[in-house]
């Protein structure tokens, strides 16, 4: 069969002989160990049943005499110490030809894959927004990522007596260690720096290194936020007094606006994967990709709510021509940081003009944006054109009856079918859980359980 030229192989894929790596071994010479690189025998057993296309079998069998594994493969298998004879979840199996006649098997981090290099059930992956070990446990086998930030860790869990039962967890490190134990090797863990405005690079690297030690270099992803005009000198404005910022969100020093980008690049150069967060508007995306992130984000909840509230006030003004609605709009836009606290008395016509530009950009009166997902659509288009094959989009910050179902429908739109494997949907576990059910689940359970009660 080795004499058959590739060009003459007319066997249809569905009728091809089923091959595995084991097919490369000569069963007449005493078993698999005959052709295995010495010392790699137990590791090769982990992949010996990996599928191999018939055409690849033909090509490889012509020159491969030995099969082994890379040092990276050994390191990963030894670190996670999973079931014997299996590769851990969260890794793609790759093949490398070395020394002319040696095929080596390698493992590459890829959360699309489950144990033994088998792809997850769907291309689109799920993630949990939580630092609560008690609510992470029920969803741990259905997610490929977990995201948490200081607000999630401290406000929603450690300092919340209803969540942190008996005040068991006292520090962030205790929480992260527990989460690391609960989640398997196939789940990335995105954790945010406590102070992204720290001007001491060595201290930031020290904090990142601590996360890596706790969670492993394979799972840790460092969350880096967009910083806007905030810096180490003025961040105190957000922490004291009325906690209002004195500058507009788009007025600041260039180095401050790009601090998050440069911080992400710095960490990337030190080998960390980056979750570049606080992305709300589509125009943030292309510059964010220059920072070579592993994840980018689309925050949808607050942005969508604000769009429709702005529209309601503008519509009320158009009907009544009463300036009270523009004054309410001004107050709202200062409160939500569209304007700074110093703009509290800004001319109402300028407020109206700004609001109209916002709505026009967000396309809320078109199919593109009426579901609040215009930024998601834009980000997928930009990501499709990027040169970052491993970067994914996290769709996050959602609530209510519409957000998740609208995302679910959007991902079936013909334009985005090819991008499903670039999407990670993240929310609180309880939010995702509510979409596992519907009214007829109750109706049918009533019928089934009553029928079961009457069985003889």
Task: Give me the residue spans of the domains in the chain.
Answer: 6-117, 125-436
Least confident range of 16-25, 371-380, 437-446: 16-25
From the list 261, 440, 251, 259, the residue with the least C-alpha distance to 337 is 251
Please give the share of the chain, as a percent, with pLDDT higher than 70: 94
Taking residues 169-176, what's their average pLDDT? 93
Indicate if the pLDDT at residue 285 is higher than 50: yes
Q: Would you say residue 11 has pLDDT above 80?
A: no
pLDDT grade, residue 12 (50/70/90)? low
**Distance in angstroms between the alpha carbons of the first and the last residue of the chain:** 62
Per-residue pLDDT at 248 exceeds 90: yes
Q: Is residue 32 pLDDT above 50, yes or no?
A: no
pLDDT at 417 over 90: yes
Of the pLDDT bands very low, low, confident and very high (cuts 50, 70, 90), residue 359 is very high
What rounded mean pLDDT belongs to the chain?
92
Q: How much is the average pLDDT of 167-180?
A: 94
Per-residue model confidence as pLDDT tens digits over 100-155: 789 999 999 999 999 999 999 999 999 999 999 999 999 999 999 999 988 899 99
- CA dist 439 and 441 (Å) reads 5
pLDDT for 81-105, tens place per residue? 989 999 999 999 999 988 878 999 9
> Quick one: pLDDT band at residue 5, thresholds 50, 70, 90?
very low
Structure confidence at residue 456 as a pLDDT band (50, 70, 90): low
Instruction: Report the interhelical angle of 403-410 vs 374-385 (nearest 10°).
Output: 40
pLDDT for res 192: 92
CA angle 7, 10, 16 (to 5 degrees): 120
Q: What is the mean pLDDT of residues 9-19?
A: 64
Identify the H or E element spanning 382.
helix 374-385
Cα 311 to the center of its chain, rounded Å: 31
pLDDT digits (tens, 9 = 90+) for 292-340: 999 999 999 999 999 999 999 999 999 999 999 999 999 999 999 999 9
Fold held by 125-436: TIM Barrel (3.20.20)
The 3-state DSSP class for residue 427 equals strand
Is residue 407 within 8 A of residue 373, CB to CB? The reply is: yes
Q: What is the model's pLDDT at position 98? A: 87
pLDDT at 13: 54
- Is a pLDDT exceeding 70 seen at residue 28? no
pLDDT at residue 34 above 70? no
Q: How confident is the model at residue 30 (pLDDT cuts 50, 70, 90)?
A: very low
Work out the average pLDDT over 251-269.
97
pLDDT of residue 63: 82
pLDDT of residue 55: 87
3-class DSSP string for the chain? CCCCCHHHCCCCHHHCCCEEHHHHCCHHHCCHHHHECCCCHHHHCCCCCCEECHHHHHHHHCCCCEEEECHHHHHHHHHHCCCCCCCCCCEEEEEEEECCCEEEEEEEECCCECHHHCECCCCCEEEEECCCHHHHHHHHHHCCEEEECHHHHHHHHHCCCCCCHHHCCCCHHHHHHHHHHHCCCCCEEEEECCCCCCCCHHHHHHHHHHHHHHHCCCCEEEEEECCCCCCCCCHHHHCCCCCCCCCCCCCCCHHHHCHHHHHHHHHHHCCCEEEEECCCCHHHHHHHHCCCCCEEEEECHHHHHHHHHHHHHHHHHHHHCCHHHHHHHHHHHHHCCCCCHHHCCCCHHHHHHHHHHHHHHHCCCCCCCCCCCHHHHHHHHHHHHCCCCCCEEEEECCCCCCHHHHHHHHCCCHHHHHHHHHEEEEECHHHHHHHHCCHHHHHHHHHHHHHHHCCC
With contact defined as beta carbons under 8 Å apart, do 82 and 185 qualify?
yes
Average pLDDT of span 440-448: 95
Is 415's pLDDT higher than 70? yes
């Amino acid at each position: 069969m080795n004499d058959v030229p590739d060009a003459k192989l007319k066997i249809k894929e569905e009728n091809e002989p089923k091959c595995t790596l084991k097919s490369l071994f000569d069963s007449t010479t005493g078993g698999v160990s005959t052709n295995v690189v010495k010392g790699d025998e137990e590791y090769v057993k982990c992949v010996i049943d990996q599928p191999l296309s018939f055409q690849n079998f033909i090509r490889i069998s012509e020159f491969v005499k030995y099969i082994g594994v890379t040092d990276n493969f050994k390191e990963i298998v030894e670190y996670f110490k999973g079931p014997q004879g299996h590769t851990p979840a969260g890794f793609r199996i790759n093949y490398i030809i070395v020394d002319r006649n040696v095929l080596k098997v390698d493992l590459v981090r890829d959360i699309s894959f489950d144990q033994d290099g088998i792809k997850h059930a769907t291309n689109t992956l799920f993630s949990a927004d939580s630092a609560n070990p008690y609510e992470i446990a029920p969803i741990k086998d259905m997610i490929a990522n977990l995201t948490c930030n200081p607000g999630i860790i401290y406000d929603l869990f450690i300092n919340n007596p209803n969540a942190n039962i008996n005040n068991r967890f006292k520090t962030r490190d205790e929480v992260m260690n527990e989460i690391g134990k609960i989640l398997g090797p196939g789940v990335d863990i995105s954790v945010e720096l406590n102070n992204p405005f720290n001007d001491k690079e060595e201290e930031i690297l020290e904090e990142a290194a601590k996360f890596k030690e706790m969670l492993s270099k394979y799972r840790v992803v460092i969350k880096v936020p967009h910083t806007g005009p905030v810096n180490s000198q003025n961040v105190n404005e957000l922490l004291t007094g009325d906690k209002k910022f004195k500058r507009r969100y788009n007025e600041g020093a260039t180095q401050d606006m790009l601090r998050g980008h440069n911080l992400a690049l710095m960490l990337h150069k030190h080998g960390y994967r980056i979750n570049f967060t606080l992305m709300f508007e589509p125009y943030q995306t292309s510059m964010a990709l220059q920072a070579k992130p592993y994840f980018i984000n689309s925050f949808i909840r607050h942005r969508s709510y604000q769009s429709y509230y702005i529209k309601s006030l503008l519509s009320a003004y158009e009907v009544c021509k009463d300036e009270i609605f523009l004054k309410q709009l001004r107050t709202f836009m200062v409160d939500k940081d569209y304007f700074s606290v110093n703009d509290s008395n800004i001319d109402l016509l300028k407020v109206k003009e700004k609001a109209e530009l916002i709505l026009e950009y967000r396309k809320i009166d078109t199919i593109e944006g009426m579901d609040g997902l215009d930024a998601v659509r834009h980000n997928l288009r930009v990501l499709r054109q990027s040169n970052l094959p491993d970067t994914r989009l996290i769709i996050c910050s959602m609530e209510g009856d519409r957000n998740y179902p609208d995302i679910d429908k959007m991902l079936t739109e013909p334009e985005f079918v090819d991008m499903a494997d670039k999407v990670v949907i993240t929310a609180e576990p309880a939010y995702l859980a509510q979409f596992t059910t519907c009214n007829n689940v109750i109706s049918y359970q009533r019928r089934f359980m009553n029928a079961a009660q009457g069985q003889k």
